[in-house]
Structure 1
Amino acid sequence: MQDVVIVTGASSGIGSEVTEKLANKGYRVLAVASREKLLRRLYSFNKNIVPVVADPTSHEGARIIQKYLDREDGTVRCFVYSNPHRSASGISKPSAQATLHLTEQLSHYFTHAKVVLISSDKKPLQKDLEKNLYDSLKEAVDTTQLDIELICSQSVEQVVAEVAAA
């Protein structure tokens, strides 16, 4: 039985880096992204990476992820959310509700959900958006019955360490 880690936004940036590092450490990684061509090309070489073409913020995307989880032989160790959504101006528009909704939909695959929010962007506006996402998600999680440990990070190494500690 192998531990499974879900990484969204896995087709580029820090999500891609985290996915590769975790797979190289032996984790089975469900690499979720909506850009099929890029996702499949990036991960065609590593058997620990399962490319999942889906929009993780949609109901259909959540169902696609669930189908993959049903086929995997293992337990979900961690959910790493690298916000994949960018507007035309290049600024992320994170949604605490979409993140929480996906976490809730996948919660029965976890014994304890460890959600790690990551961002590769260090611009002040991006940092503010990520902080708002973290605060909103923390507030929403506190009102649910889910056992969720919420971590915020901008370092690939810290994310990998958080997964190992889960």
Structure 2
Amino acid sequence: MPILEKGCLCCALDTCVKVQGFILTGAFVVIAVVDLVMLSVWLIPLEQNLSPQSDDFDRRAISTTKVVCIALLFCLVLWVVLGVLLLYGVYKKRRALMWPYMVVGVMNLLITTGLLVFYASSVNAQIANMFILIVILALQLWLILHVVSLYQKFGIEERAYEQQQQQQEE
């Protein structure tokens, strides 16, 4: 039995997951484009035009920023691929294509929970950061619940279809 019967705002569960997939995929594409623009327009020319007076700290800071931007770009491309797989899985009602999104989504929940515990246990815990992480954690949990519920609903429909096929064969 699915955890949730309806999606957000009383729409169908599959419609809610499709909207979620489109919005998340679109947002990650926009962020990836901004990341690429930042790399190509700002960071690479800054690295190439370092003055002779620049010290080793400047070079390391630019190099570290470049590595972070490339890692962010990799994660964004991964999320876009996962979003496309999710959308295709919902359209074709293929549960196997929803698995990667759910696995990475749960990993993301665990990382966010770890960050929340880290912030809560730190000496300089800022309430604003903790509040933002709690809101992000709740939103991630709500979105993952929709996908898991739709996954379960598709499983119930598959089993019912298989039983119907077996009854017709008899």
| TM band (smaller chain) | under 0.3
Flag the structure with higher strand content. 1
Flag the structure with higher helix content. 2
Name the larger-Rg structure: 2
State the TM-score, normalizing by the size of structure 2.
0.24
State the TM-score, normalizing by the size of structure 1.
0.24
Bigger relative contact order, structure 1 or 2 (CA pairs below 8 A, ≥6 apart): 2
